[in-house]
């Protein structure tokens, strides 16, 4: 979005608890959420036949599930989630919806192009299918699917009507069934090569169609003339000899092994490899997609192509593939390795890519025998520390994170880890697996950034007691950092190089009690210097307090780095507790005088700044309207302007050197109110800056980036 310097706002919600932690708790708390999400939104209604899922052109999935439909299907629920392959590396994860009126709703995204599967689940165990979706997964009756289009998913789209191949069901043996794809223009007068494509343990042959998009992939490759015309037989891998006889009896296919191929996923891939390596002369081409074969006695090797595929370290086949390559190397067996897919584990998103790569290599000569673009070499086996010794959590240099509980939950039935691990910091719950008397999961790769998480043990939120980090306002949360260049501004600077954070106690005439603010002073702060320091008052959101900008917002690290990089005007930053009934009075009569009394800061409006997030942003707008010109620099993160009654636009413009506004994307629930605010500001003629949305929801990932952008802009005009 281009840089804008404009004007805008509408109606202020007078009372709001909008901090991300409060919202996060409300999303999973029993009953209607007492959060800003509920206050900002009217109580929507949904007709019985309205789609539960709508998908925007830019990949945002909006879920609107009528509470009445859920109750009719599974009874009353206190929590509702969408489960799907939304997690890191396309792992299965849960996205919590919020109850607003008669509808459970939420926005997830932007989702990368690809196929997504999902089901609706109440109270962690009450599953139901989306009845408004026309899609189905034969082996998973509660699942539905949807396709996010895009260039990366073009081969997953349906071929033009009437131009693709055909799918038929072949019954063989004692009633087993296989799905058979025949290419466009298939004729029994011509003999075709054949690929036997197998599913793995826990998966059905139909999953290759419902989840693997095999039909669409084969149709599109065929129409692009990127593959040899062939018959593809999709099965569960049982009774292979009987299946081959049935195929030969019904379809015109080659019986020459040189014109036959076999491939499969997981156990199906292991079976394909074992057949190719121990029964030479049956197949000339073999592919293993996340195969789990680790050791095999090679009795012969007469295949034209043996190609191995694996996902990243979250794929159980990662270590298996590493061991298999050593076995093949020792046996001097020629094979090809597609490289490690860095962005996928053992799931259909990876296996779709494997099929797309494998099929064009069959029954023809190809020049490229290397890995797919962006795939990486094996680095040896992945081995997190032994149970009970894992740091909390264990983070690899490339962003894979292993979480592990203590032994306190041995009797639990279900444990998940809830974190800002989704796209742009959205919150997802990823199931953990029992390992002896502990629960463990490895997820990733997570982008370099700052993360926070908590366990859910049989639906109850629990802190990771082994992690010493804390969040004062949300005792169940723990934090960690994934290092990398993108996260540099969030990392600690050397202890003797950064500024200082101190507590400032002051007397509040609003609450009639002592209150506390945290104050950052820059490196080399000199209380006796000739010129007073500019001062920046930085406010938290609803459900938070003065500790959150330091514990969650990484304000000290951001300010330290900007100062050391030479980007920051030396200033004092005051982070006060805004949880008062009269914020304007608290700020101007208590916080500001206390800061001036204790620190060498300026009282000149041109040397004072005020900013806040969510509720703190609404409070900031309130000060701007009531006391225009009191602060020369004003910024608002994820908030809204409110009422335009009595607003003196001329005084705001004359007294404000910078009014800069920020908001998250469509997953930020204040986004609609914020955009309305821009219209109001425009109508009032108030000048402001808005550089487009910050990708992400109503959370710290967005607000950290907002502070990173704002701080270097202060006191430079």
Q: Is the pLDDT of residue 19 over 50?
A: no
Q: What does each C-alpha distance from 380 to 18, 313, 340, 424 come to in angstroms?
A: 46, 10, 11, 30
pLDDT in tens, 172-216: 999 999 999 999 999 988 999 999 999 988 889 999 999 999 999
Angle formed by the axes of helices 348-358 and 214-223, to 10°?
30
Side-chain-side CA neighbours of 171 within 13 Å: the count stands at: 2
Flag the least confident range among 386-395, 567-576, 667-676.
386-395
pLDDT in tens, 512-555: 999 999 999 999 999 999 999 999 999 999 999 999 999 999 99
Q: Would you state the pLDDT for residue 28?
A: 30
Domain limits, CATH 2.60.40.10, in the chain: 41-157+401-447+449-482
Domain 41-157+401-447+449-482 of CATH type 3.40.50.10240: no
Q: What is the mean pLDDT of the chain?
A: 92
- Can you tell me the distance from the alpha carbon of 51 to that of 43, in angstroms, rounded to the nearest whole number? 18
Q: Which of 155, 158, 147, 159 is nearest to 113 (CA)?
A: 147
Q: Is the pLDDT of residue 39 over 80?
A: no
Q: Which of 187, 289, 166 is nearest to 237 (CA)?
A: 289
Q: Would you state the pLDDT for residue 295?
A: 80
Domain limits, CATH 3.40.50.1820, in the chain: 158-361, 489-713
Q: What does each C-alpha distance from 113 to 57, 59, 148, 157, 350 come to in angstroms?
A: 11, 8, 5, 11, 13
Cα end-to-end distance, the chain, whole Å: 24
Contact predicate 178/317, CB 8 Å: no
DSSP structure class, residue 553 = S
Q: What does each C-alpha distance from 178 to 137, 239, 528, 536 come to in angstroms?
A: 16, 11, 84, 68
Dihedrals phi, psi of 279, to nearest 5 degrees: -125, 70
Instruction: Compute the Cα dihedral for 83, 86, 87, 92 and give only its sign.
Output: positive
Helix ranges (H only) for 59-117 are 67-74
Q: What does each C-alpha distance from 398 to 347, 394, 443, 705 come to in angstroms?
A: 20, 12, 11, 22
Flag the least confident range among 40-49, 170-179, 367-376.
40-49
Contact predicate 270/291, CB 8 Å: yes
Q: Would you state the pLDDT for residue 303?
A: 86
Return the residue matching tokens 């959205």.
426
- Can you tell me the distance from the alpha carbon of 450 to that of 627, in angstroms, rounded to the nearest whole number? 36
- Can you tell me the distance from the alpha carbon of 262 to that of 244, in angstroms, rounded to the nearest whole number? 11
Contact predicate 620/587, CB 8 Å: no
Contact predicate 146/55, CB 8 Å: yes
- Strands 61-66, 103-108: pairing is antiparallel
Contact predicate 36/23, CB 8 Å: yes
The CATH T-level fold of domain 489-713 is Rossmann fold (3.40.50)
Confidence band for 26, pLDDT divided at 50, 70 and 90:
very low
Contact predicate 159/223, CB 8 Å: yes
Confidence band for 301, pLDDT divided at 50, 70 and 90:
low
DSSP secondary structure of 439-461: EEEEE-PPPSEEEEEEEEETTEE
- Can you tell me the distance from the alpha carbon of 150 to that of 152, in angstroms, rounded to the nearest whole number? 5
Confidence band for 300, pLDDT divided at 50, 70 and 90:
low
Torsion angle defined by CA atoms of residues 10, 13, 16 and 21, in that order, rounded to the nearest 10 degrees = -20
Q: Would you state the pLDDT for residue 152?
A: 95
- Count the neighbouring beta carbons within 10 Å of the beta carbon of residue 362: 24
- Can you tell me the distance from the alpha carbon of 297 to that of 303, in angstroms, rounded to the nearest whole number? 16
Write down the CATH number for the domain with range 158-361. 3.40.50.1820
- Can you tell me the distance from the alpha carbon of 684 to that of 687, in angstroms, rounded to the nearest whole number? 9
């Amino acid at each position: 979005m281009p840089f804008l310097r404009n004007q805008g706002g509408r109606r202020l919600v007078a009372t709001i608890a909008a901090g991300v932690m409060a919202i996060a708790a409300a999303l999973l708390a029993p009953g209607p959420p007492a959060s800003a999400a509920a206050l900002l939104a009217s109580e929507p209604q949904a007709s019985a036949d309205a789609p539960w899922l709508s998908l925007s052109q830019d990949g945002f999935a909006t879920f609107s599930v009528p509470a009445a439909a859920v109750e009719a299907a599974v009874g009353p629920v206190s929590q509702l989630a969408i489960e799907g392959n939304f997690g890191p590396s396309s792992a299965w994860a849960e996205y919590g919806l919020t109850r607003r009126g008669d509808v459970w709703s939420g926005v997830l995204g932007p989702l990368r192009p690809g196929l997504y599967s999902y089901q609706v689940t109440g109270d962690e165990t009450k599953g139901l299918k989306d009845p408004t979706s026309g899609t189905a997964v034969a082996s998973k009756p509660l699942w539905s699917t949807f396709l996010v289009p895009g260039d990366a998913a073009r081969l997953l789209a349906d071929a033009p009507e009437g131009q693709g191949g055909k799918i038929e069901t072949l019954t063989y043996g004692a009633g087993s069934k296989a799905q058979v794809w025949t290419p466009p223009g298939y004729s029994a007068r011509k003999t075709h090569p054949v690929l036997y494509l197998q599913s793995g343990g826990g998966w059905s042959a139909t999953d290759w169609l419902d989840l693997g998009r095999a039909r669409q992939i084969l149709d599109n490759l065929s129409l692009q003339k990127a593959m040899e015309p062939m018959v593809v037989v999709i099965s569960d891998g049982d009774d292979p000899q009987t299946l081959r006889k049935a195929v030969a009896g019904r379809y015109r296919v080659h019986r020459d092994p040189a014109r036959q191929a076999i491939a499969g996923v997981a156990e199906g891939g292991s079976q394909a490899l074992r057949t190719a390596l121990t029964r030479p002369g049956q197949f000339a081409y073999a592919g293993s997609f996340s195969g789990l074969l680790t050791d095999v006695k090679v009795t012969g090797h007469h295949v034209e192509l043996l190609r191995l595929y694996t996902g990243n370290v979250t794929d159980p086949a990662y270590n298996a593939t590493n061991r298999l390559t050593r076995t093949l190397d020792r046996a001097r067996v020629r094979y090809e390795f597609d490289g490690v897919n860095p962005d996928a584990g053992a799931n259909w998103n990876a296996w779709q890519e494997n099929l797309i790569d494998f099929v064009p290599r069959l029954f023809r000569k190809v020049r490229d025998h290397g890995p797919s673009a962006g795939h990486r070499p094996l680095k040896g086996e992945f081995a997190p520390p032994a149970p009970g010794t894992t740091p909390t959590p264990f983070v690899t240099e490339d962003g894979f994170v292993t979480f592990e509980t203590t032994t306190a939950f041995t009797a639990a039935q279900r444990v998940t880890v809830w974190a800002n691990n989704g796209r742009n910091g959205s919150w997802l719950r990823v199931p953990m697996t029992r390992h002896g008397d502990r629960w463990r999961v490895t997820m990733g790769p997570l982008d370099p950034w700052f993360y926070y998480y908590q366990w859910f043990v049989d639906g109850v939120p629990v802190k990771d007691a082994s992690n010493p980090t804390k969040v004062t306002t949300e005792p169940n949360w723990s934090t960690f950092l994934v290092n990398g260049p993108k996260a540099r501004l969030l990392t600690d600077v050397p202890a003797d190089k950064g500024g200082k954070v101190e507590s400032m106690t002051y007397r509040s005439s609003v609450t009639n009690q002592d209150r506390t603010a945290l104050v950052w002073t820059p490196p080399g702060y000199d209380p006796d210097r000739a010129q007073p320091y500019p001062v920046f008052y930085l406010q938290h959101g609803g459900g938070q307090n003065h500790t959150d900008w330091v514990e969650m917002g990484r304000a000290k690290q951001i300010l330290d780095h900007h100062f050391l990089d030479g980007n920051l005007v030396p200033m004092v930053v005051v982070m006060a507790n805004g949880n008062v009934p009269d914020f304007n009075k608290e700020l101007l009569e208590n916080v500001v005088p206390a800061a001036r009394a204790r620190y060498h800061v300026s009282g000149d409006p041109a040397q004072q700044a005020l900013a806040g997030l969510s509720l703190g942003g609404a409070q900031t707008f309130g000060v701007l309207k009531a006391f225009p010109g009191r602060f020369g620099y004003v910024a608002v993160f994820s908030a809204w302007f409110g009422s335009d009654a009595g607003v003196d636009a001329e005084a705001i413009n004359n007294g404000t050197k910078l009014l800069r506004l920020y908001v998250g994307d469509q997953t930020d629930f204040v986004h609609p109110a914020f955009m309305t605010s821009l219209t109001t500001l425009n109508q009032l003629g108030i000048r402001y800056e808005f550089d487009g949305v910050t990708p992400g929801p109503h959370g710290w990932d967005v607000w950290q980036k907002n502070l990173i952008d704002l701080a270097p802009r202060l006191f430079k005009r």
